[in-house]
Structure 1
């Protein structure tokens, strides 16, 4: 698959671009002095790649310039002519206003103009977008990338400036590795099916773990033993069957017997015991109250001295002092005892209160039981028993539901264990496959990494390493590094200039490794020489030409200031035949779209 021609129904505003089999240069010339220091020039050399992507059925994006300025571009209909593996050609028609309607025409001669082709001459007319992508994938017949479609790898074939930030992960891939790592591993020669299955099992495992968490929440945080639930359920079901039989037979003798036994054996005995306890506590309380009254000290030494003086009896200071000390001693003992008595009184009153409350509750139960036994109306007994049965059945339903949740929880945990084991097994297989492809000198990956290192070495005289290894979760990690003279990795690849070089080297090395297969054989690289020094530009151009001679169609864009500078002024960097589109900044005629900037 190579590009042959790109044109529109408005040739006055967008001139046709004829692509060659080898090197194709999109050359922008900055002629106005005031524009030479600017970073961007809006000539359209970068836009060309986006237009090619549009004709190859990129999805509709409102931020894409054709749709963002649809009022300007709605009249445009684009045509791209592609050379197929069997040396025939395919023309794809896609308009801006009806971007979801695609038409196809196969032909044997190149550089056709089908702008005015009648509808009945198209092989497939106005095919809906989703079906059109499937049809185009079939017509391109890129069997070397199956089971993926041609769109999966198109980002590596049409590199915009935004796609030089990472050699492997393109901007459009987003955050999910499962969208791009299997495809990338496939074209590098690894067993991508293992990765696909591993990601699928991980997704299943994640869903099961979420379901298990939901079931645990539904159980209220307490997961009972299923055996215990089954036992309680069995007892309640038996009780419900007995009550149902009583209701069915309308015979309440057994129920009366049970109520009488409950009344005599439990309620009356409990009430009597509580009454005995309350009586005992009340007696203790009375004793404490009496002790609190008796412990008051009523002797006062001041009053005693006054009485003695009135009687004419000597009551010396020493005697008064001794009495005062005695009173103080008794008072300290009395206060300590008083504290114990008050504390005990409080505990007794609290227990009396609890007993009284419990006696009230038991009294109500006793009253209800006696009411049942004394009720001569069968209907009332039937109603009460029915209420008991309804309550039992509600309990049974709740237990059944809990049992189902526990069974489901057990099933989920078993499935989680099984999926975890499958993930571990797949991880082992992935590790073995990666080790095998890394160690085999004749493997596809070994070929690609050699081509990759050769390209970087030819351009900057440094070796480069392409490596693939699984992490602790079994996910492949891809690295592209520049090595120093000792073979150690350096930080040189962290700069934008060298990172771009690594991207170009990777794309070309992959294309070279797949040259003999039904695989895309073109690459579009925007701003290919930017930031490189003069000698490295010459080296990179030599590599691109070398790969073009092998059969790889290279489409590169640059402006005149990025050209390698040669001492001989008459020596041109490119042959005229290599420049397929020349742009400049002297008015609208020099732009890709010959109109005012939008």
Structure 2
């Protein structure tokens, strides 16, 4: 399938472009000297690729110039004539104001003009956009890209300047996920795309299950994470609720009275006795501490002793007085430290006494309530209290049942997560086996493509190149295109924009050549193909493009005259007149793709 003709209903503004089966050159000439140093010239060589994409039913992009300047282009209708694999032709009609209404006409002869064709003469007129895409997919019949439709890989046939950043991941896939493009690239390279698609699907499902499990876990909060415990507690609560319901149904509170009595005797009174014993113990300990604090006083005073000894005629030397003072100071230091500890212990005891007192007060109130119940002769008061207890029990049961539901769902999710994890591991193993098989089989499609790829780079740069595909540690395929040095090791040359563009061009051509006998697109559009290359490499690349054109690959290349390859022979022009399908220039509106003022 190749491009045949692109035209519009306004040929004086957008003239017809007739494509050749082989090499097609869109040459932009910079004739005005002041424009030679500009990076962009707005002549339309890049726009042409976007117009072809528009006619291949690209979706509406508000930033696309046809829609951004809709007032200027609303009356335009564009026609793309496509050569099909059965030697017939298909014309696609699409307007700007009614861009979702598509018409088709299949015909035998090439280079037709259907601008004045009546509605009745179109095979399908003004189909809805989705229906038109579906029909165009069937008419093009690119079986080699199945199960995807014709739009999936069209970007590899229409490489704009923004699509040279990565050999494999086009600009349109930059904000998406790897699952959006890796299975397709793997497929056209000869790998089992079904394994890769299933792997991504299982991974997504696994992540979704993990996220749901985290949500369920959060719903449980800090509650019991053991279904057996929940079931046990729920069973006891339900039995208690059943018992109380039976009491209410029978209007008989003898059993309830018995339960309350047992609670009083076995529970409240036992705890009160325990707390009273503890309070007595604490009081005794506090009394001892207070006594110790009072006793820790030094009553001996050296000055008074010296005066007394003088009165009775006993010599009290200064040294003896000094020794007594030091002893007292030492004892005082020890006493102060001991008093500190005693004070801390006293504070703790008083705090605990306060806690014990508060709990005893609470128990006293509870005991009073139970005694009131037992002594009450009002059966309705007892009925109300039992009812309140039953309501509380049922609320607890409802909460437990909810927790049980969460736990059961969590267990199911964990089972599913384990199964998905095992499935992912199994798929990883299958992918690794498939990749190894395609890499080692010299006759595989991938091996053929990588040979073509390396040959192109070697012919242009005099260096071999390596196209490689391998799964990483997470099971995802990694695609690499690298230039090799003399020792066969990857160099950093492919990191530069110029060499990265060469790798993209070589990849596109190699894939097209490998699929030349398949129901596959057989054209490619490369914008600014010679930009930044030195003259020798331009000559080499042009030679490769011509060789591939002879093999059946239709190339549409764009360039400005300053990027023109040098002549191999002085008397022979670089491009023959029939190879130049569109000549643009900067001398007024007539030189642009759209012969109108710049929008």
TM-score (normalised: structure 2): 0.93
Q: Which runs of 4+ in 1 moved over 3 A?
A: 279-309, 312-348, 567-570
The CA distance in 1 between the partners of 2:306 and 2:162, in whole Å, is: 111
2:184 match: 183
Per the TM alignment, residue 352 of structure 1 is displaced from its structure 2 partner at its CA by 2.4
SS at match of 1:112: coil
1:129 match: 129
Distance change in 2, residues 1:43/1:352 (3 Å): closer
Counterpart check, 1:551 vs 2:552: yes
**Matched-pair contact (CA < 8 Å) for 1:216–1:223:** no
SS at match of 1:395: helix
The CA distance in 2 between the partners of 1:455 and 1:577, in whole Å, is: 25
1:285-332 per-position Cα deviation (integer Å, ceiling 9, x unaligned): 4455455445555565656777899xx755754499387678767766
When structure 1 is superposed on structure 2, of 100-109 and 264-273 the one drifting more is 264-273
SS at match of 1:458: helix
When structure 1 is superposed on structure 2, of 244-253 and 214-223 the one drifting more is 214-223
Per the TM alignment, residue 282 of structure 1 is displaced from its structure 2 partner at its CA by 3.4
2:497 match: 496
Counterpart check, 1:455 vs 2:456: yes
Distance change in 2, residues 1:589/1:256 (3 Å): same
Per the TM alignment, residue 548 of structure 1 is displaced from its structure 2 partner at its CA by 1.5
1:194-245 per-position Cα deviation (integer Å, ceiling 9, x unaligned): 1110110111111111111111211214552221221111111111111111
The CA distance in 2 between the partners of 1:557 and 1:166, in whole Å, is: 20
SS at match of 1:577: coil
Distance change in 2, residues 1:518/1:317 (3 Å): same
SS at match of 1:78: strand
SS at match of 2:99: coil
User: For residues 4-15 of structure 1, what are the structure 2 equivalents within 5 Å?
Assistant: 4-15=4-15
1:219 match: 220
2:393 match: 392
The CA distance in 2 between the partners of 1:203 and 1:338, in whole Å, is: 69
**Matched-pair contact (CA < 8 Å) for 1:223–1:406:** no
Distance change in 2, residues 1:163/1:363 (3 Å): same
2:575 match: 574
Per the TM alignment, residue 474 of structure 1 is displaced from its structure 2 partner at its CA by 1.6
The CA distance in 2 between the partners of 1:379 and 1:470, in whole Å, is: 77
Distance change in 2, residues 1:264/1:93 (3 Å): same
CA RMSD of aligned residues (A): 2.4
2:104 match: 104
Distance change in 2, residues 1:299/1:431 (3 Å): closer
User: For residues 6-45 of structure 1, what are the structure 2 equivalents within 5 Å?
Assistant: 6-45=6-45
**Matched-pair contact (CA < 8 Å) for 2:306–2:316:** no
The CA distance in 2 between the partners of 1:280 and 1:565, in whole Å, is: 109
SS at match of 1:139: helix
1:424 match: 425
The CA distance in 2 between the partners of 1:501 and 1:449, in whole Å, is: 15
1:474 match: 475
User: Could you list the runs of 5+ residues in structure 2 that have no partner in the other structure?
Assistant: none
The CA distance in 2 between the partners of 1:473 and 1:340, in whole Å, is: 63
SS at match of 1:49: helix
When structure 1 is superposed on structure 2, of 364-373 and 494-503 the one drifting more is 494-503
1:85 match: 85
**Matched-pair contact (CA < 8 Å) for 2:309–2:315:** no
**Matched-pair contact (CA < 8 Å) for 2:309–2:316:** no
Counterpart check, 1:155 vs 2:160: no
2:466 match: 465
Per the TM alignment, residue 339 of structure 1 is displaced from its structure 2 partner at its CA by 4.9
Per the TM alignment, residue 125 of structure 1 is displaced from its structure 2 partner at its CA by 2.1
The CA distance in 2 between the partners of 1:286 and 1:508, in whole Å, is: 100
Per the TM alignment, residue 493 of structure 1 is displaced from its structure 2 partner at its CA by 2.1
1:540 match: 541
When structure 1 is superposed on structure 2, of 247-256 and 392-401 the one drifting more is 392-401
1:584 match: 585
1:494-550 per-position Cα deviation (integer Å, ceiling 9, x unaligned): 222222222112111111111111111111111122222223222222222222122
The CA distance in 2 between the partners of 1:78 and 1:376, in whole Å, is: 98
Distance change in 2, residues 1:329/1:8 (3 Å): closer
SS at match of 1:90: strand
SS at match of 2:135: helix
1:25-79 per-position Cα deviation (integer Å, ceiling 9, x unaligned): 1112222222233332221111111111111111111111222222222221111
The CA distance in 2 between the partners of 1:387 and 1:262, in whole Å, is: 17
Distance change in 2, residues 1:153/1:282 (3 Å): closer
Distance change in 2, residues 1:304/1:33 (3 Å): closer
The CA distance in 2 between the partners of 1:188 and 1:303, in whole Å, is: 112
SS at match of 2:578: helix
User: Could you list the runs of 5+ residues in structure 1 that have no partner in the other structure?
Assistant: none
The CA distance in 2 between the partners of 1:423 and 1:558, in whole Å, is: 47
Per the TM alignment, residue 258 of structure 1 is displaced from its structure 2 partner at its CA by 1.3
1:156-204 per-position Cα deviation (integer Å, ceiling 9, x unaligned): 1011111112111111112411111111111111111111101101111
Distance change in 2, residues 1:121/1:296 (3 Å): same
Counterpart check, 1:440 vs 2:437: no
When structure 1 is superposed on structure 2, of 220-229 and 275-284 the one drifting more is 275-284
The CA distance in 1 between the partners of 2:495 and 2:342, in whole Å, is: 85
Counterpart check, 1:247 vs 2:248: yes
The CA distance in 1 between the partners of 2:327 and 2:523, in whole Å, is: 117
**Matched-pair contact (CA < 8 Å) for 1:157–1:522:** yes
The CA distance in 2 between the partners of 1:3 and 1:240, in whole Å, is: 81
